[in-house]
A and B are shown apart, each in its own frame.
Chain A
Amino acid sequence: LAKTTQPISMDSYEGQEVNITCSHNNIATNDYITWYQQFPSQGPRFIIQGYKTKVTNEVASLFIPADRKSSTLSLPRVSLSDTAVYYCLVGVPNTDKLIFGTGTRLQVFP
């Protein structure tokens, strides 16, 4: 069964780069890894998705090593509005289940 773990919390200051890692030791081989941002009492919001190596969009980068046992979300130059909980989402092998990581609460300070 896929198991995903993330650091419980991280602190940063405005303008810094933040890297959040999700460890997923056994995930579906044909599925993507997706990261979401969630503010209190709101639905998760899609940030970025990738299958392997590196993916970059206008808000983040995603690094996935060849063994796909982890993924790292990189947020460049965070701002106060990036304070939120960040989740990775992965597929469980041989099923259609999608499960979230444990979530990382990012606090950005001025």
Chain B
Amino acid sequence: DSGVTQTPKHLITATGQRVTLRCSPRSGDLSVYWYQQSLDQGLQFLIQYYNGEERAKGNILERFSAQQFPDLHSELNLSSLELGDSALYFCASSVARGQGYGYTFGSGTRLTVV
């Protein structure tokens, strides 16, 4: 157990629907990162939050949004889902950037859009 909890582990939904993925960071970690990994592809950076504030954005689609709550958990919202959104979605957490700490990843949410 890495200490980063992602729920649900699996999600199957239809095109056009909306889903919410949840991430609870390790205790004490203030930063949360979201990544998307399509089948047999690399990890694409989506977005980062630090202590509730958005700090960096990658190639995140406008249909996707995220937030980090006061208790530091984060949610990634995916709407108007398309078949191509099927992927593994990972979150990672760290105390802060640039301080020599490794970033710990959760076990991911596998999203299947049918």
Contacts and interface: CB of A to CB of B under 8 A. Distances in A.
Interface string B33-61: 10100000011110010100001111000
Nearest to A35: B102
- B interface, size bucket: 20 to 34
Contact of A43 (B55, B56, B90): B90
Given A41-B110, A44-B90, A45-B105, A100 B98 contact: no
Query: Would you call the interface of chain A mostly helix, strand, loop, or mixed?
Result: loop
B18 interface: no
Interface string B15-43: 00000000000000000010100000011
Contacts of B110: 41
A2 to B, nearest CB: 11
Interface of A: 28, 30-32, 34, 36, 41-46, 49, 51, 87, 89, 91, 95-103
Interface of B: 2, 4, 33, 35, 42-45, 48, 50, 55-58, 88, 90, 92, 97-98, 100, 102-108, 110
Given A44-B90, A51-B100, A87-B43, 8 more contacts: A34-B103, A36-B105, A41-B110, A97-B57, A97-B58, A98-B48, A98-B56, A101-B42
